Amino acid sequence: MQLTSLHVGKPQLIPASGSSEWWDKEWTTALVKQPVSEPVWLGYEGLRGDGCADLAVHGGVDRAVCVYPEEHYAYWRETLQLAELPYGAFGENFTTAGLHEETLFVGDIYALGESLLQVSQPRQPCWKPARRWKIKDLTARIEQTGRTGFYFRVLRHGYVQAGQPLQLFQRGSETWSVALCNEVMYRRKTDRDSTRALSEIPVLSGSWKDFLHARLRTLEAA
């Protein structure tokens, strides 16, 4: 397991060009990130030099580091017909090798460089990758395929660098893989038992627990 590529980027305004296409509107995003080869300081709210355009749905201690498996890139390059799709294309901070949604569990702790990182939730893709790559249904396709990526929270800060190994320090949940969390979030929306069980995982991010509790109240009131 390894950190293949590391990316940072600040929010930037992308102006409209006047083409009248659905994607051609002025917008602000930090999705466009640049690779960094030298060591970067990783604090409890993310990498130095990185930022988020919408702090309501990105960033914070539970979503300090956005991670995407490099193994997904071959699939997207073929299906999206984007042969030059680079690492960092989905706005991730870390592109990793050897970490998969099916075998990665909420609460898993990994050592990377000087830091300790904990899996906090799957990534919930927003509309911005679709606009960046001009593919209207890309967000839906990310959800449907389960190739979402995930977030780390930072348990110990320190310097990290592309090319460093990721070492499993402590296993978290024995049941709730990132893939199973996605299954409950997107395909078991009316399953009360699964919703309740996932919402009660102590190390799950606060935003996911809040959302699942709200869903459960709606289901129980129906």
Q: How far apart are CA 148 and CA 200, in angstroms?
A: 22
pLDDT at 54: 77
Look at residue 181 and tell me whether its pLDDT is greater than 80: yes
Say if residues 116 and 191 touch (Cβ distance below 8 Å). Answer: no
Element (H, E) at 69: strand 65-69
Q: How far apart are CA 96 and CA 166, in angstroms?
A: 9
**Across 88-115, average pLDDT:** 97
pLDDT at 154: 98
pLDDT at 222: 78
**Which residues are registered as beta bridge partners of 140?**
none
| Percent above pLDDT 90 for the chain | 90
Q: 134: phi > 0 → left, psi -120 to 50 → alpha, else beta; which?
A: left
Instruction: Kindly report, residue by residue over 19-29, the tens digit of the pLDDT.
Output: 989 999 999 99
Q: Sketch out the chain's domains with CATH numbers.
A: 2-174 (2.40.33.20)
Question: DSSP letters of 133-189?
Answer: HT-TTHHHHHHHHT---EEEEEEE-EEE-TTPBEEEEE---SS-BHHHHHHHHHH-T
**Across 193-211, average pLDDT:** 95
Instruction: Kindly report, residue by residue over 112-121, the tens digit of the pLDDT.
Output: 999 999 999 9
Q: To the nearest whole number, what is the mean pLDDT of the chain?
A: 94
pLDDT at 37: 97
Q: How far apart are CA 105 and CA 109, in angstroms?
A: 9
Confidence band for 174, pLDDT divided at 50, 70 and 90: confident
Residue partners of 12: CB distance under 8 A and separation at least 6: 28, 29, 30, 32
**What are φ and ψ of residue 61, in 5° steps?**
-65, -30
pLDDT at 25: 92
Q: How far apart are CA 185 and CA 95, in angstroms?
A: 23
> If you count them, how many residues does the chain have?
222
**Across 145-165, average pLDDT:** 98
